Amino acid sequence: MSLTYLLAGFSVTRWLWSAWGELCSYTLHMSTTQWGILAASTIAFGFMCLRGYDIKA
């Protein structure tokens, strides 16, 4: 039983490190326009979260 948890933990840790490396690679190659879009989206999402549960889809 503990071997299953060990393998699952290793798999999740490996996936997280892989995702982190990929994210770092993407950020190194982003243009100014892409950074602007990301920043604007983040700010808009933050304001939507501040509004709370009253957002209707």
Separation between Cα atoms, residue 25 and residue 18, nearest integer Å: 11
* Domain extent at residue 32: 2-54
pTM (global) more than 0.75:
no
Q: Hey, what are 14's tokens?
A: 């490996």
Q: What is the pLDDT of residues 1-57, one digit of tens each?
A: 565 665 666 677 888 888 899 988 888 898 999 999 999 999 999 988 887 766 555
- The number of folded domains in the chain is 1
